[in-house]
Amino acid sequence: MNEIFNSSFETGLRVLLVLSSIQPKAATVDRIAAYDFITIYGRDFGASHINLHGDSNYNFSELASKRASCNEGIKEFVLSGLISIRHSEEGFTYFLNDKGKNYVDSLSSDYATQYLEIAKEVHKKFAESSDEEIVKLINCKAIKDLRRKA
C-alpha cells in the first residue's frame, strides 16, 4: 500500500499551494521549503493563529529534511506537468503553470483552503526577504526552541 502522508505527493501538493500563493512569481526550492515550513507552523512565525500540523516538541526536527522532501515533490509535479522550471540569476526557480493552476483550483479540502490562506500571509510577510534571510530566521527560531527545551 502506498503511503500518502509524508510522501513526495503530499509535499508536492503543498508545493503547488505555495506556488499558487506567490503567483505569478517563481521561487527557488529554498524559498518553497521555507514557505512550506513557515506555513505549516504559522503560529510560531506570526503568520497564523494556528499551527496546521499541531503543536509538538519536535516541530523543528522536520527542518533538516524539508528541502529534500520539497525537491522530491517538485520533481513529481514537474514530471506531471503542473510545475514549470525557469532558469534565473538565482538558479532554477519553479512556478505554477496553467495546468497547475487548474489543479490547485480543484482542491477543495478545508486543509488546502487553510494552507493557502496562511501561505498567502507568509508571502506577504516575507516577499521582500531574501531566501537566506528566511532560512536564517527559521534556523534562529529552531536554536531558540532547542535552548528553551534544554
In a domain? residue 47? yes
In a domain? residue 89? yes
- What mean pLDDT comes out for the span 121-127? 98
What does the block give as the cell for 97? 503553470
What's the pTM? 0.92
| Cα distances (angstroms) measured from residue 52 to each of 42, 73, 102, 109 | 7, 19, 24, 13
In a domain? residue 55? yes
In a domain? residue 97? yes
Q: What does the pLDDT read at residue 118? A: 98
Burial of 84 (0-12, 13-18, 19+ CB in 10 A): middle
| Cα distances (angstroms) measured from residue 86 to each of 7, 27, 69, 98, 126 | 25, 9, 20, 15, 21
Terminus-to-terminus CA distance in the chain, angstroms?
Answer: 39
Domain count, the chain: 1
Q: How far apart are CA 20 and CA 27, in angstroms?
A: 11
Domain that includes residue 112, residue range: 8-149
Place of cell 503530499: 10
In a domain? residue 3? no
In a domain? residue 111? yes
In a domain? residue 1? no
- Give percent of the chain with pLDDT exceeding 70: 91
In a domain? residue 137? yes
What does the pLDDT look like over 90-114, one tens digit per residue? 899 999 999 999 999 999 999 999 9
